Chain A
Amino acid sequence: MKNPRNGMLPQKRLQDDFNRARKSANDNAAANDEYLPRWDLAALYKSPDAPELKSDLAQIDKLCDEFVEAYEGTLEWLSGSDLGKALGVYEQIEALRHKVSCYITLMESDDVANFARLGDLNKWFQENGGKIGFFEAELAMMKEQTLMPKLAAPELAAYAPWLAALRAREGQTLPDGIGGLSADFATTSREGWGRFYHETINALRVEWQGEKLSLDDMAEHLSTMTLEERKEGRAAMAAALKAQSARIALCYNAMIRDDLIDNELAGVTRPDAPVNRANRASDETVDTMFDTIKSSYARLSHSFYEWKAQQHGQEVMPRAQVGMKLPGLEDASHEYSFGEAKRLVMKAFRKFSPKFARLAEKVFSAGHIDAEPREGKDTGAFALPTGPGDVPYVMLSFTGSASDVAATLGHELGHAVHQQLAEKACGFFMSDVPTPVAETASIFAEMLVFEELLKTEKDPAVRKKLLVDRLENMLGNGLQQLAYYDFEKRVHDARREGELDAEAISDIWVETQREYYGPSVETDDYDRYYWMTVPHFFDTPFYVYSYAFAQQVVSGLYRSYKTAEAEGADARAEFIENYIGLLESGLTKNLYEMFQPFDLDPESREFWENGLSLAVQYLDELTALDTAVPAARPKGAKAPRAGKK
């Protein structure tokens, strides 16, 4: 699929100039492996008051006004070819708007203090979006028999996959007269709740030994503590969360109820239905996934934690111990400098496909990566494509663990590669894939990096630890996120019957976590309030299942890759070709078509069992390896790198 957009956008050139400047700065810094890159958002705009931004806004406003003047209320009567042209203009406007929106997102992630500076820009963005909102609304509501004949025009047919996604996403239409009200509530109240949630959690401080620490910093501290200290630390975190629990519960209730009202009015009966539709997965596929994965808890997560408890010499271990190093592996830590991490990731990518490595390298050379942990910065990690032809921005807080290397840096760079491939093949508009597929490249990349880590690591204890961590990560994504989804389903269902206070929500949370961990883990108060720290529940309800979805999909794909690799160079090449084809397909293929080249069918239970079997295989390897690892490190073995950031 060719990109229907012509010409290069003006800001792209500026961007390239900046990239060159940035690259030389990076080269100097590269001498220092400890260097943690921070992005420079001034490359997008110098400040929220910058004249460049003002003039972009003015240009967008002008384009929007012209667009409204030309098209509002007329779409039904346009010829297919004219409608296609209108879409071309719309795509251009959206690309410009997207840059502004990315700027807001990036600035807000960069520093919580920026929220206040962006109020006006946010308001502009909402109002401006309101102006052209008619376009998607009219397209979404257009009768099928009106739309079909127009699609004979090639200008419009090129956008068919985008239209399909739009109509699936916006399928629930509210009655006339209500839509406007709903939009008012969405832009005022609903978005305000999101802001309140983030500002509150970002500002949260844990009192610990006379210091006030953010949740992230505290979590970082925990990793170096003894069990008793961890228990105390987690109690302090629980206290900090509990102090805010009433307000966060109120916020969560309000958000769910807000959605519930619109869903009911639109005749949507399951709260996750809009997400499933947007994911282009049938409700049945999601249910099959849910049932299959949930029935694997006993043989996967329960077995794993039972094994882990045994390693600690316990039948039942306290929750605080779950994240602790295993006996014999206390010193089996390998801290990576950021430079080292980058080299490892790039090596893994290069081995798989040089194309992957090239695209990942662009993120660094463009200076679009922010890896430095700091106060006020948003927690979590993401990769964000900012517009046509631009290199995605990647945010993470790198602290040097193996999981930061694979599960975070590798993961986000996988996203960035995927985004660039899809954008190049389908254009900016149609590169925006539904969430479960969006995770394909990222998790696959994690697996590649993991394998590389395992391969380069010589210390058997560290290797064992890598395998434990890997498994924990796979279970965390593939199973625990499903438990998160289970939590959301239950909370949303219960909210239908009335408001839930913080303790009622926590009860549901504890129950779903207990189901996941099984009888070998005893929960604690920090775990009880942990749901408050999961932004997905507030920002994008039901998004979490796509991690489990993607984990199992990719596990299955990875098994196919390994099989192909074992079969020989041709089979491997064919797999990689199919795989890149999948990533490039963007919106143009549906979920079921995507997996046809690999002979995989997401509608079947076997599809999910296949994915789960990779974790089973790792678990077997781990328990086998366990007996092989000597209790103490042999004398003269390479000492693990001392911990530092």
Chain B
Amino acid sequence: MQDRPDNKPDTPPPQDMLPRWDLSALFPGKDSSEFKNALADIDRDVEAFARDWRGKVVKADGTALGAAVARFEKITENIARIETYVSLLRAADNREDAFASKIDDRLRESVQELLFFTLELNKIPEPALLQKIAAPELSAYAPWIGALRASRPHQLDDEAEKYRHLKEGAAEDAWRRLFDLTMQGMRFDVDGKKLTEAETLNIIDNDRDPAKRRAAWESFTKGLGENIGAFALITNTLAALKAAEDTQRGFEKPEDSRHLENHIERDTVTAMSAAVKAAQGKTSHRYYAWKAKKSGVARLHPADRNAPLGDAPQKHIPWDEAKEIVLAAFARLSPEMEKIGRRFFDEGWIDAEPREGKDSGAFSHPSVPSAHPFILLNYFGTPGDVMTLAHELGHGIHQVLAAKQGHLMADTPLTVAETASVFGEMLTFRALLAREEDPAARRAMLAGKIEDMLNTSVRQTAFFTFEQKLHAEYREKGELSPERIGALWRDVTRDSLGPAINMDTPGAENLWAYVPHFIHTPFYVYAYAFGDCLVNALYDSYDKAADKQDFAQKYTALLSAGGSKTHEELLAPFGFDIDNPAFWRKGLGVIEHYIDELFALDQKIERAQKAEQDFKKAGKALTSDKDGANDNAPDKTAEKAFKKASRRKPPAAGVEEVPKPPKPPSAGDAP
């Protein structure tokens, strides 16, 4: 499942009919006999499998072992089908939480009964394994076994692994659920209304009224402040649990287990993170200084950091239009992708309707290969929502393509997991930009895009730094008070965003508390920056490729490979070397180019405005009885003149209109 740090739905009620998903590809209903039978089957299959294989893995020959893995794959896929079903039920309606947990508890026991299999596979000595893997039945699973064996050095003995697995249900998992329950239960007073987290964040990120943004931000940070003790307790407890587990498993640094899971070397991540920090002056610091100046202040209030620029009206984009924009964008890259994408809309794979009790985020759940992925988002009709749709649809298409690899190997390595999603967003952004004729609106879109890029690369890297500091300090000094966590947060944020964002604003110290990633997937955040910079470079290649069809073929092959290849193999056809620092600098250069592009456009607009004012002044002398009451209204003639000057091609020409390579959006964070 791909989820992202923050997401931004909207307040205005949707005007069109928004789809809800149809889960019948998984089960007809939670009370259906199919669902009950599936649960019962799992008990039976797990028991039989354990009876046949427990204690026999090491000695089995390759052919038999290959058959066992296939059987294991089938059972785990059946388990995943039920897990997917209940987790989607819960995401669509949090009143299903207790039911879903009950099922989760039950499945946990089954998974625990199966643990022996992977543990025993890891006990096969390497020479013996190489011999067995000569059998084609087993070699088909070689990539999966390879990934499995990477965790060998950190494995506990069987009983301890089983015990851990059970205990996590009452520990890590339960603390994470407590976080979710707490966030879901909070309501923030804005203009006399009690809003949910998602609604409040949406105002902070998207509302055009600065006073309303400010009010929402203050209410949000105050609400977090009221619960800050609970958030700190959850954070500290999870840090303690992680420290204990890392000690048991022999992981040196808090982030090391994540690197192992991501199949990335610590050094590669360090190189990326250092490159992002080194470029901050030219990216985030430079951009926010400009934005502050534009807003006429020395330092921006945090509530204004993501605020839409200027007074360009934000148009509501109906769902059906969004659908066609996004599908057309995918079609330009590959008709096959467009065809897959259309199924999501036509066959009820998407739940886009915002409603009470539904998850506020956005994700595409891969589900299981024998069904199909499911997309959840909350669509309010902003351009940002269209990009979210494109992002999740990219994931969804990727998941459909990779499903051919089977349940065990469909999961793409993290390094390239964001490829299709970010690609989808970039294509869509260009399409949206091309539709827009008003230069001020175009400037706002570009600025919004840059902010998304900063939120994904600079901001998520700062999140990663914050986590490193937090866990390190916990291990060194023990529990961190809410104030101490707040101080860490403030320092890291100030460093990454630069002096133009006023981090001394009271309440800003509470904003660490709502980031779900710190709770649910510690250290995952760097993956966004990582994936984003990487896909930047990939899109750059696409943009520059002479033979677009050849690129599309390579690209489709990459997505279809799922988890059956390493990232080195996957990226080789494109000539990338991610261990090379120059590579990361190149990716970050894309952001700089965007900023250049924005500044150039801005200067043009300002010049045109100045020309317009001069023109008016001159005109006023002649027709003094005319515009007197309406000085602020833009003069149509001047505007047309400006448009003509600033546009190289008619907007219909589309994506290629802007020469600079594009960039992915989103993954921001809010306040």
Q: A178-B163, A181-B167 are in contact. Are A188 and B230 (CB under 8 A)?
A: no
**CB-based contact B98/A243 at 8 Å:** no
Q: Which residue of A lies closest to B182 (CB)?
A: A247
When each residue 198-240 of chain B gets 1 if its CB lies under 8 Å from chain A and 0 otherwise, what string results? 0000000000000000000000000000000110110011001
Q: Chain B contacts of A253 at CB under 8 A?
A: 101, 170, 174
Task: Name the interface size band of chain B.
Answer: 35 or more
B-contacting residues, A162-218, CB 8 Å: 175, 177-178, 180-182, 184-185, 187-190, 192-193, 195-196, 199-200, 203
Is B328 part of the binding interface, using a Cβ–Cβ cutoff of 8 Å?
no
Q: Which residue of A lies closest to B227 (CB)?
A: A203
Is A123 part of the binding interface, using a Cβ–Cβ cutoff of 8 Å?
yes
**CB-based contact B233/A199 at 8 Å:** yes
- Option from B156, B163, B182, B248 in Cβ contact (under 8 Å) with A265: B163
Is B482 part of the binding interface, using a Cβ–Cβ cutoff of 8 Å?
yes
CB distance from B260 to the nearest CB of A (A): 20
Q: Chain A contacts of B245 at CB under 8 A?
A: 184
- Option from A192, A200, A501 in Cβ contact (under 8 Å) with B175: A192
Q: Chain B contacts of A177 at CB under 8 A?
A: 156-157, 159-160
Q: A177-B160, A500-B98 are in contact. Are A188 and B181 (CB under 8 A)?
A: no
**CB-based contact A120/B105 at 8 Å:** no
Q: Which residue of B lies closest to A115 (CB)?
A: B229
**CB-based contact A178/B171 at 8 Å:** no
Is A371 part of the binding interface, using a Cβ–Cβ cutoff of 8 Å?
no
Q: Chain A contacts of B310 at CB under 8 A?
A: none
Q: Chain B contacts of A243 at CB under 8 A?
A: 185
Task: Name the interface size band of chain A.
Answer: 35 or more
Question: Which one of B473-481, B553-561, B631-639 contacts A?
Answer: B473-481
Is B123 part of the binding interface, using a Cβ–Cβ cutoff of 8 Å?
no
Is A250 part of the binding interface, using a Cβ–Cβ cutoff of 8 Å?
yes
Q: A250-B181, A258-B170 are in contact. Are A116 and B240 (CB under 8 A)?
A: no
Q: How many A-B residue pairs have CB under 8 A?
A: 120
Q: Chain A contacts of B102 at CB under 8 A?
A: 498-499
CB distance from A499 to the nearest CB of B (A): 4
Is B164 part of the binding interface, using a Cβ–Cβ cutoff of 8 Å?
yes
**CB-based contact B178/A255 at 8 Å:** no
**CB-based contact A250/B178 at 8 Å:** yes
CB distance from B347 to the nearest CB of A (A): 33
- Option from B171, B185, B244 in Cβ contact (under 8 Å) with A246: B185
Q: Chain A contacts of B159 at CB under 8 A?
A: 175, 177-178
Q: Chain B contacts of A195 at CB under 8 A?
A: 233
B-contacting residues, A245-278, CB 8 Å: 246-247, 250-251, 253-255, 257-258, 261, 265
Q: Chain A contacts of B477 at CB under 8 A?
A: 120
**CB-based contact B166/A196 at 8 Å:** no
CB distance from A186 to the nearest CB of B (A): 10
Q: Chain A contacts of B481 at CB under 8 A?
A: 116, 119
Q: A199-B233, A254-B170, A261-B170 are in contact. Are A498 and B106 (CB under 8 A)?
A: yes
Give the CA-CA distance A195 to B232 in the complex, in Å: 12
Give the CA-CA distance A247 to B241 in the complex, in Å: 20
**CB-based contact A188/B105 at 8 Å:** no
Is B146 part of the binding interface, using a Cβ–Cβ cutoff of 8 Å?
no
CB distance from A139 to the nearest CB of B (A): 24
Is B313 part of the binding interface, using a Cβ–Cβ cutoff of 8 Å?
no
**CB-based contact B164/A188 at 8 Å:** no
Question: By DSSP majority rule, is chain B's interface helix, strand, loop, or mixed?
Answer: helix
Q: Which residue of A lies closest to B474 (CB)?
A: A123
**CB-based contact A178/B479 at 8 Å:** no
Give the CA-CA distance A205 to B171 in the complex, in Å: 28
- Option from A124, A189, A200, A500 in Cβ contact (under 8 Å) with B170: A189
CB distance from B586 to the nearest CB of A (A): 43
Q: Chain A contacts of B167 at CB under 8 A?
A: 181-182, 185, 189, 258, 261
Give the CA-CA distance A177 to B157 in the complex, in Å: 9
**CB-based contact B233/A257 at 8 Å:** no
B-contacting residues, A490-513, CB 8 Å: 498-501, 504
Is B654 part of the binding interface, using a Cβ–Cβ cutoff of 8 Å?
no
Q: Chain A contacts of B232 at CB under 8 A?
A: 116
CB distance from B470 to the nearest CB of A (A): 14
Is B430 part of the binding interface, using a Cβ–Cβ cutoff of 8 Å?
no
Q: A119-B479, A123-B479, A181-B164 are in contact. Are A499 and B105 (CB under 8 A)?
A: yes
Give the CA-CA distance A606 to B153 in the complex, in Å: 62
CB distance from B31 to the nearest CB of A (A): 16
A-contacting residues, B79-107, CB 8 Å: 97-98, 101-102, 105-106
When each residue 123-150 of chain A gets 1 if its CB lies under 8 Å from chain B and 0 otherwise, what string results? 1100000000000000000000000000
CB distance from A201 to the nearest CB of B (A): 12
Is A122 part of the binding interface, using a Cβ–Cβ cutoff of 8 Å?
yes
> Which residue among B106, B156, B171 has the maximum number of chain A CB atoms within 10 Å of its CB?
B171
Q: Chain A contacts of B174 at CB under 8 A?
A: 189, 193, 250-251, 253-254, 257
A-contacting residues, B393-434, CB 8 Å: none
When each residue 403-416 of chain A gets 1 if its CB lies under 8 Å from chain B and 0 otherwise, what string results? 00000000000000
**CB-based contact A188/B98 at 8 Å:** no
**CB-based contact A261/B479 at 8 Å:** no
Q: Chain B contacts of A175 at CB under 8 A?
A: 159
When each residue 457-469 of chain B gets 1 if its CB lies under 8 Å from chain A and 0 otherwise, what string results? 0000000000000
**CB-based contact A189/B105 at 8 Å:** no
Give the CA-CA distance A24 to B668 in the complex, in Å: 64
Is B177 part of the binding interface, using a Cβ–Cβ cutoff of 8 Å?
yes
> Which residue among B98, B105, B166, B248 has the maximum number of chain A CB atoms within 10 Å of its CB?
B98
Q: Chain B contacts of A116 at CB under 8 A?
A: 229, 232, 481-482
Give the CA-CA distance A265 to B241 in the complex, in Å: 21
Q: A192-B175, A261-B170 are in contact. Are A181 and B181 (CB under 8 A)?
A: no
Q: A177-B157, A498-B102 are in contact. Are A257 and B170 (CB under 8 A)?
A: yes
Give the CA-CA distance A504 to B101 in the complex, in Å: 14
Is B169 part of the binding interface, using a Cβ–Cβ cutoff of 8 Å?
yes
**CB-based contact B241/A257 at 8 Å:** no
**CB-based contact A254/B171 at 8 Å:** yes
A-contacting residues, B227-273, CB 8 Å: 229-230, 232-233, 236-237, 240-241, 244-245, 248
> Which residue among A189, A193, A504 has the maximum number of chain B CB atoms within 10 Å of its CB?
A189
**CB-based contact A251/B178 at 8 Å:** yes
**CB-based contact B170/A192 at 8 Å:** no
**CB-based contact B101/A499 at 8 Å:** yes
When each residue 148-188 of chain B gets 1 if its CB lies under 8 Å from chain A and 0 otherwise, what string results? 00000000110110011011011110110110011001000
Q: Chain B contacts of A190 at CB under 8 A?
A: 171
CB distance from B109 to the nearest CB of A (A): 10
A-contacting residues, B426-459, CB 8 Å: none
Give the CA-CA distance A499 to B101 in the complex, in Å: 6
CB distance from A444 to the nearest CB of B (A): 39
- Option from B156, B177, B178 in Cβ contact (under 8 Å) with A196: B178
**CB-based contact B181/A196 at 8 Å:** no
Q: Chain B contacts of A498 at CB under 8 A?
A: 101-102, 105-106
**CB-based contact A120/B178 at 8 Å:** no
**CB-based contact B230/A199 at 8 Å:** yes
Give the CA-CA distance A629 to B159 in the complex, in Å: 70
Give the CA-CA distance A504 to B102 in the complex, in Å: 12
Q: Which residue of A lies closest to B479 (CB)?
A: A119
When each residue 629-645 of chain A gets 1 if its CB lies under 8 Å from chain B and 0 otherwise, what string results? 00000000000000000
Give the CA-CA distance A418 to B554 in the complex, in Å: 82
CB distance from A241 to the nearest CB of B (A): 14
When each residue 471-494 of chain B gets 1 if its CB lies under 8 Å from chain A and 0 otherwise, what string results? 000000111111000000000000
**CB-based contact A120/B170 at 8 Å:** no
Q: Which residue of A lies closest to B177 (CB)?
A: A250
- Option from A119, A193, A255 in Cβ contact (under 8 Å) with B478: A119
Q: What are 14 A-B contacts with C-beta separation under 8 Å?
A: A116-B232, A123-B479, A177-B156, A177-B157, A181-B167, A187-B240, A188-B240, A189-B240, A199-B233, A243-B185, A261-B166, A261-B167, A498-B102, A499-B102
Extra contacts, 4 of them, besides A181-B160, A261-B166 (Cβ < 8 A), are: A120-B477, A185-B241, A189-B237, A499-B105
- For the complex of A and B, the 3 pairs showing the least CB-CB separation, nearest first, are A119-B479, A501-B98, A189-B171
